[in-house]
Amino acid sequence: MSSCPHHVDGIHLIPIKQHCILAAKSIIEVSGTRDNSAAPFKGNSGKTAEMAYDWIMNAASIETISLDPDPDNGTMMCRPAWEYAETRGKLLEQFMARFVRFNFIWTGFEILTDLISPKNDGARKKTATILLRDHYDPLPRIGEFDPVLECFKCHIRDSHLFNTSLKEFCETDDCTTSGIAIHVCSTLRNSFAHGSLHMPEPNDWNWPTRSNSDEHVLRTIGLASRLMLLSIQMLLVGALNREGLSGQQHHPTSLFTEDDEINLKDFLMTSHRSDITW
Ligand SMILES: [Zn+2]
């Protein structure tokens, strides 16, 4: 296990499932805010806030994926080979569940970008980054974003599973804007889509040259999900800022909050933190 200084005691986040639910519900809440002609969602892609909600709730719902460790059925395996296949199968089940969750969150992000942006030219990564630059920056980045990003970079750097372009991306200093996570996560997603992401190996069976532990890989994918959820929250803040709606008090319809009215921007900036209760 690498000695990453960030994840030991530096990150205060609510559990991932709860974080997904909050992000999904926040999209519904932001879609309901308007003032005369100002509305945070101006896109005309035919997509709806409910679609983004559904995908991110799918991410919240994922618990396990089951794999058949011996799909070829009946291969003659000696006992150690069988034990290896079984252990690796269990790891891959966890790996895939995390990867599916990450991909569902990414789908929610793409829908959200289409909802926010009046221009729908398909370049969502760029559109989202520009939106953040123009309507979120130079505010301080959302709480816990920086330690999560640092932890993610640290884990990518130490791992042989991730391709060179992703490692190089994590080494650049171009990490000053809030759009960084969208870029780095799209690189991770592409490395999977284009086949350059390696499968993790179980700890006990690692070759000496392989420095990865299984928790290390699972954690990295989990951090990518966190970064996308935080980016979604910042995009929502950007959409409210753009329309001059971020100062408004709001009656939540879907959020679990004790208060009658909340400031949605304050909620979006802090609701994912385990050290703050709403
Ligand atoms: Zn870490």
pLDDT digits (tens, 9 = 90+) for 118-142: 876 668 888 998 899 899 987 778 9
Rounded distance from Cα 1 to ligand 1 centre (Å): 10
Rounded mean pLDDT, 143-159: 85
Contacts of 50 (CB under 8 A, 6+ apart): 28
* Biggest distance spanned by C-alpha atoms of the chain: 71
Nearest to 153 by CA among 130, 122, 185: 185
Q: How many angstroms is it from 265 CA to the middle of ligand 1?
A: 28
Provide the pLDDT for residue 56: 98
Rg of the chain, C-alpha, whole Å = 20
Which residues does 77 contact at the CB level (< 8 Å), separation at least 6? Answer: 70, 85
Cα(116) to ligand 1 centroid in Å equals 32
pTM for the full predicted model:
0.91
Residue 158 CA, ligand 1 centroid: distance in Å = 10
CA–centroid distance, residue 60 to ligand 1 (Å): 22
Q: How far is the CA of 77 from the centre of ligand 1 (A)?
A: 37
Q: Tens digit of pLDDT for each residue in 208-261?
A: 444 456 777 888 899 999 999 999 999 999 999 999 999 889 999 888 777 789
Ligand 1: distance of its center to the CA of 8 in Å?
Answer: 7
CA of 70 to the centre of ligand 1 (A): 33
* pLDDT band per the 50, 70, 90 thresholds, residue 172: low
Q: Distance from the CA of 152 to the center of ligand 1, in angstroms?
A: 6
CB atoms within 10 A of CB 230: 24
- The first and second tokens of residue 136, run together, are 């979120």
Separation of CA 219 and ligand 1 centre (Å): 8
Q: Rounded to the nearest 5°, which phi and psi values hold at 252?
A: -70, 145
Q: Which of 16-30, 78-92, 195-209 has the highest mean pLDDT?
A: 16-30
The environment of the single-atom ion ligand 1, i.e. residues with CB closer than 5 A, is 4, 6-7, 151
